[in-house]
Structure 1
Amino acid sequence: MERLNVTAIEPKFKHPTIFQYFDALKAGESFIIENDHDPKPLYYELIAERGDIFTWEYLLKGPELFEVQIAKNPTNQNGGEVAGTISIKDIKKAEMLKDKGVQFNCRTEKYNLADDPNAGKVTKAPTYDSDKWELDFLIDYIVNTHHQYIKDNAENLNDLTIKVAEHHGDSHGELNRLSTLMYHFLQDLLDNTAREEEVLFPVIKQIVAKKRNADTEITYKIGSLQEPIDLLKKDHEIAAADLSFFRTLTNDYTLPADACSSYQYLFQKIKEFETDLKTHIQLENNILFQKAIQLDAELAKLN
């Protein structure tokens, strides 16, 4: 059994390295991590990012050395993972921490991951009116929130879809098609975000700057924004149609009786991805693009 001395790893690489070790495990295999403090934050991050597909066992609990054996759940006769043993309370807590944007770093003094007195409590989300934001600020928000979400989740979602299809595709053939379509869906989204960030968004920022200061130099042809925006909106229509088809293909993400924890986690992650993408598209189509075209038309009238 492999051992990983976490104390020898540069802090920013600790959790990514542990995830690499975990993802490389085959069903039923395990490894041991050694650390100089309780790695409890890692436990919640594993739940939040991988779901109930592992076991966590303390072999040594300090005070100077902590040893934890992390095992990937074994498979059953159908090739699916055996249901995990993680408590519902811990799963909900991990989801809550992720929703709050908590960084799952060890040695954090700002937030006690293990003993949060507010764990499980429902708090009212802050409200904002993005329709009142300046367009350059809205662009930065979209890039840092929704585009980054796609970049952070696309590879893992694709890998998870492939994994579930490999385990359950023989008895649930729709998963094989879902796996193929998911790859193309995610690649198209990544291409769309790249075109927006590299071409359209810089142009819109030029328009905003020109509106504020007429002497600002611009490098695009004023009055030409409608066509590229129409092409990007077409990408959005295709993405929405893909999401609709995924729901049809999976019977609105209805889980079969033999669904393992990875199968359940896959459907949860796709629905989460769908929710974020719908918000993302609404911000671009109904606010950013409309206002950018309006500003572009105003500048065209001045020339």
Structure 2
Amino acid sequence: MEKLQSKTVAEMVTENIKTAHIFKKYGIDFCCGGGITLDKACKKYNADYDLLVNDLINVDNTSSRATNYNSWDLDFLADHIVNVHHSYVEENIPLLLQYSARVAQVHGHHYTELLEIEELVKEVAGELSAHCKKEELILFPFVKKMVKAKKEGTELPEAHFGTVDNPIKMMETEHEDAGELLRRIAKLSNNYTPPQGACNTYRAFYAKLDEFEQDLHHHIHLENNILFPKSLMLEKELRNNQ
């Protein structure tokens, strides 16, 4: 119990990704807002502390190799994020845009929140598409160069952006922005709950939005809580060795 109290939400998810499902169950943000203790998280999100701790204690603590992201090399983790999460964003954004336009057109006159949701979907689609490209073209290649430099015992590579902290801060700000857009969508959609008697397209749209948000939370967690802090540590280590 004392061990749990001293850990932040982000640390717990980093150590065991399975706890993410528990925090999701209690409506606790474990990616952008994960840097707080369990007690503070419960107060912030109006969650029952005792019930949460009980669920965390009873979670299966045996992390398989496939989900022990904290042990992966940074270049491998960066490739995983691109291949799994960036690919997911790229593949699903067109579908979300089609769904949102169709549902707003057919049902927006009665359920006016759909009109606002459509605009928010367009906004998050544009922001995440640009965000992923910046990571793939600027940040991740530099992280890979640092990993290579450490393995080969060479000097820290030069970067036009100065320190890696600069693009990381930008990416974290964009994570916050995308997360806020999805929080607004979740609120407008009553946590992706379609109205009674909703058509299949309406239901599919909300189910896809829910899935999209969950993937984004996992995506942001891997970057904010593992890749980014370890990249900063690696840069510092390489700089000290020069």
* TM-score > 0.5, shorter chain as reference: yes
Matched, 1:135 2:74: yes
Greater RCO, CA 8 A, separation 6+: 2
- Structure 2-normalised TM-score? 0.70
Q: Determine if contact 1:223/1:296 at 8 Å carries over to the other structure.
A: no
TM-score normalized by the length of structure 1: 0.56
* Equivalent of residue 293 in structure 1, options 232, 238, 241: 232
Answer with 1 or 2: which has the greater Rg.
1
1:148 to 87, 95, 99: 87
Work out which of the residue numbers 265, 269, 274 in structure 1 matches 2:204.
265
Inter-CA distance 186–222: structure 2 relative to 1 (3 Å threshold): closer
CA distance in 1, matches of 2:77, 2:203: 34
The one-letter code matched in structure 2 to 1:186 is A
State the Cα deviation string for residues 38-96 of structure 1 (Å, max 9, x = none).
Answer: xxxxxxxxxxxxxxxxxxxxxxxxxxxxxxxxxxxxxxxxxxxxxxxxxxxxxxxxxxx
Displacement after TM superposition at 1:217 (Å): 7.7
- In the alignment, which residue of structure 2 is the partner of 1:204? 143
Given that 1:185 and 1:242 are in contact with CA atoms closer than 8 Å, whether structure 2 keeps it comes out as yes
Give the distance between the partners of 2:94 and 2:75, measured in 1 at CA: 28
Percent identity of equivalent pairs: 36
Shift of 1:163: 0.5
> Shift of residue 240 of structure 1?
1.1
CA distance in 1, matches of 2:191, 2:210: 10
Is the Cα contact below 8 Å between 1:223 and 1:299 reproduced in 2? no
- Give the drift of 1:215: 3.1
Find the aligned partners of 1:219 and 1:297 in 2 and give their Cα distance.
13
Check whether the contact 2:155–2:238 (CA below 8 A) recurs between aligned residues.
no
Task: Point out the structure with the larger helix share.
Answer: 2
Question: Could you tell me how far apart the structure 1 residues matched to 2:161 and 2:106 are?
Answer: 54
CA distance in 1, matches of 2:167, 2:207: 34
Classify 1:256/1:135 alpha carbon distance in 2 versus 1 (closer, same or farther; 3 Å).
same
Q: Deviations over 1:121-161 (max 9, x none)?
A: xxxx9652010000000011111000000011111111111
Matches of 1:222 and 1:267, distance apart in 2:
39
Match of 2:219 in 1: 280
Q: Where does residue 96 of structure 2 map in the other structure?
A: 157
Q: Which residue of 2 aligns with 1:180?
A: 119
Greater strand proportion: 1
Contact 2:149 2:155 in 1 (8 A): yes
Q: How does 1:196-275 map to 2 (within 5 A)?
A: 196-215=135-154, 218-220=157-159, 224-275=163-214
- For structure 2, the residue ranges without an aligned partner over 5 or more in a row are 1-62
Root-mean-square deviation (Å): 1.8
Instruction: Give SS of 1:256's match.
Output: coil
Give, in whole Å, the separation in 1 of the partners of 2:154 and 2:127.
38
**What secondary structure, in the 3-state scheme, does the structure 1 residue paired with 2:194 have?**
coil
The worse-fitting range, judged by mean Cα deviation, of 133-142 and 240-249 is 240-249
For structure 1, which runs of at least 5 residues remain unmatched after alignment? 1-124
Number of aligned positions between the proteins: 179
Query: Following the alignment from structure 1 to structure 2, what is the Cα–Cα distance between the partners of residues 157 and 221?
Result: 36
Instruction: Provide the rounded CA distance (Å) in 2 between the counterparts of 1:133 and 1:192.
Output: 23
User: Measured at CA, do residues 302 and 265 of structure 1 come closer, stay the same or move farther in structure 2, by a change above 3 Å?
Assistant: same
Residue 78 of structure 1 is matched in structure 2 by none
Distance 1:188 1:221 in 2: 23
Separation in 2, partners of 1:255, 1:199:
40
Deviation at residue 254 of structure 1 after TM alignment:
2.2
